[in-house]
A and B are shown apart, each in its own frame.
Chain A
C-alpha cells in the first residue's frame, strides 16, 4: 500500500502543477541579476546563496496541496482504516514530495546557474548542497503542511513556520560553495538534513491525528 500511495502522490504532483515551483525557482534566479546588476564576480559570489533562497521560496508553493486535500476529502481517514499508520503515510508523502520536487529542481539548477553566471566550481558546490539539503527540505515541507492543514490562511502560516526552520539548511547549504568551509559545511548540512528527515514523519503523523475531528 505504501508503494501505491507514493505512486499516487507522485502522479498527482506531476499532473497537478509540479512545474510551478520550478518555474518560480527559475524566476527568482532570473530576478537576482536584474536586481544586482551584471557584475560577474559579485554574481558568482552570491549566486549559490541566491539559488538557495530561490529553492526555499519555491518550496513554499506546493505546501498547500501536500496534506490538506487528502485531509479534507477523507483520504487520510480511509488510509487509517486500511491499517496504515500515520507515520507510514507521512513517509510516503515525504518520498512522493521529494520525487516531484527535488529532481526537477536539480534540472532547473542548470539554467539557474547560467542565469546567475556561476563558474564551474560554484555550480558544482551548489548542486551538491541542494542535493544534500532537498530530503530535509521535502520532509520539513510535509511536516509544515500537516501542521497547517485545515487552518485558515494556511499558506502564509506555512511560510512563517517553514522558513525559520530551514535557516540552518540555508546557512550550511549556501556556504558549501559560497564562502569557504567546503567539506565541513557539507557535513554540517547533512547533519541538519538527516534529523529533519528522521523527525518529520513523527511530527506529520501527530499533526494528522490532531487534525481529526
Chain B
C-alpha cells in the first residue's frame, strides 16, 4: 500500500530541545490520525514537519501533495473573501458552500471574525484538491456548526481516498486513532 505520509524514525529538535524522536507513522488513503498531547509538546511542529516547512533532525519523511491549515490566514486582507481564496486555487465555491461561507464571498477578509477566518483557511484546504490534509488545531474558534461542517468535509475527503492528519488537544468529531506526544 502506498502511504500518503510516512514518518520513519523521525526526530525533531527545536531550539536545542528534543521534542520527539524515533517517531513512526504512516497514513494511507482513507486514513486519519490525530496528534494529541499537552501544550508545547510539539503537535504544531509535527504538522509543520509533515508539511516540509521544518527539517527533521533524524529519520526520513515521505509525503505526497498536501494542503495545510494552521494559524496563518495567508489571505489578502483587503480583498473580498472569494477573490482572496482564488489566489490559491479556483474554483473555490464548493468549498465555501461546504463551510457555510457563501454569503461572505464579497466581504473583505479583514472584516471576518476569528471563526470565519478559521473556516476560510479550512476552505482553502478543501479547495486545494490535495490528497493529504494537515490541520493544526482545526477546531479553534469554530462553533458547533463549523465543527459539524468540518466533520462532514473530512468524512467526504476520506471516502474519496484522501488522508487527514490533525493536531488537536480537543476531541474531534468521529473516531480518531491517536498519537500521544510529550509523554
Interface check A38, CB cutoff 8 A: no
Q: Which residues of A have CB within 8 Å of B177?
A: none
Interface check A75, CB cutoff 8 A: yes
CA distance A75 to B71 in the complex (A): 11
Distance from B82 Cβ to chain A, minimum over Cβ atoms (Å): 15
Q: Is the CB of A78 within 8 A of B68?
A: yes
Q: Is the CB of A78 within 8 A of B72?
A: yes
Q: Which residues of A have CB within 8 Å of B67?
A: 81
Q: Is the CB of A78 within 8 A of B74?
A: yes
Interface check B96, CB cutoff 8 A: no
Which residue of A16, A74, A212, A213 is within 8 Å of B74 (Cβ)? A74
Q: Is the CB of B87 within 8 A of A80?
A: no
Q: Is the CB of B73 within 8 A of A74?
A: yes
Which residue of A73, A78, A80, A212 is within 8 Å of B88 (Cβ)? A78
Q: Which residues of B have CB within 8 Å of A74?
A: 70-74
Interface check A82, CB cutoff 8 A: yes
Distance from A195 Cβ to chain B, minimum over Cβ atoms (Å): 30
Q: Is the CB of A81 within 8 A of B70?
A: no
Interface check B53, CB cutoff 8 A: yes
Interface check B148, CB cutoff 8 A: no
Which residue of B68, B75, B76, B78 is within 8 Å of A77 (Cβ)? B68
Interface residues on B, range: 20 to 34
A4 and B51 contact, Cβ closer than 8 Å, known pairs A73-B74, A77-B68, A78-B72: no
Q: Is the CB of A12 within 8 A of B72?
A: no
Number of A-B contacts (CB under 8 A): 43
Distance from A59 Cβ to chain B, minimum over Cβ atoms (Å): 24
Q: Is the CB of B71 within 8 A of A80?
A: no
Q: Which residues of B have CB within 8 Å of A81?
A: 51-53, 66-68
Residue of A nearest to B51 (CB): A81
**Main secondary structure on B side of the interface with A:** loop
Residue of B nearest to A82 (CB): B88
CA distance A16 to B79 in the complex (A): 12
Distance from B26 Cβ to chain A, minimum over Cβ atoms (Å): 21
Interface check B54, CB cutoff 8 A: yes
CA distance A12 to B78 in the complex (A): 9
CA distance A75 to B75 in the complex (A): 7
CA distance A213 to B49 in the complex (A): 10
Q: Which residues of B have CB within 8 Å of A8?
A: 76, 87
Task: Tell me which residues from 47 to 106 in chain B have a Cβ below 8 Å from any Cβ of chain A.
Answer: 48, 51-54, 66-68, 70-76, 78, 87-88
Task: Tell me which residues from 75 to 134 in chain A have a Cβ below 8 Å from any Cβ of chain B.
Answer: 75, 77-78, 80-82
Which residue of B72, B87, B124 is within 8 Å of A73 (Cβ)? B72
Q: Which residues of A have CB within 8 Å of B73?
A: 73-74
CA distance A168 to B51 in the complex (A): 41
Q: Is the CB of A75 within 8 A of B74?
A: yes
Q: Which residues of A have CB within 8 Å of B52?
A: 80-81
A12 and B76 contact, Cβ closer than 8 Å, known pairs A81-B51, A82-B88, A212-B54: yes
CA distance A98 to B39 in the complex (A): 43
Q: Is the CB of A15 within 8 A of B68?
A: no
Q: Which residues of B have CB within 8 Å of A82?
A: 88
Q: Which residues of B have CB within 8 Å of A80?
A: 52-53
**Among A72, A212, A213, residue most surrounded by chain B Cβ atoms (within 10 Å):** A213
Q: Which residues of A have CB within 8 Å of B72?
A: 72-75, 77-78
Q: A15-B78, A78-B88, A81-B68 are in contact. List 6 more A-B contacts (CB 8 A).
A: A72-B72, A74-B73, A75-B74, A77-B51, A77-B72, A77-B74
What is A's interface to B at a CB cutoff of 8 Å? 4, 8, 12, 15-16, 72-75, 77-78, 80-82, 212-213
A sample of 6 cross-chain residue pairs with beta-carbon separation below 8 angstroms, ordered by A number, consists of A75-B74, A78-B68, A78-B74, A78-B88, A81-B68, A212-B54
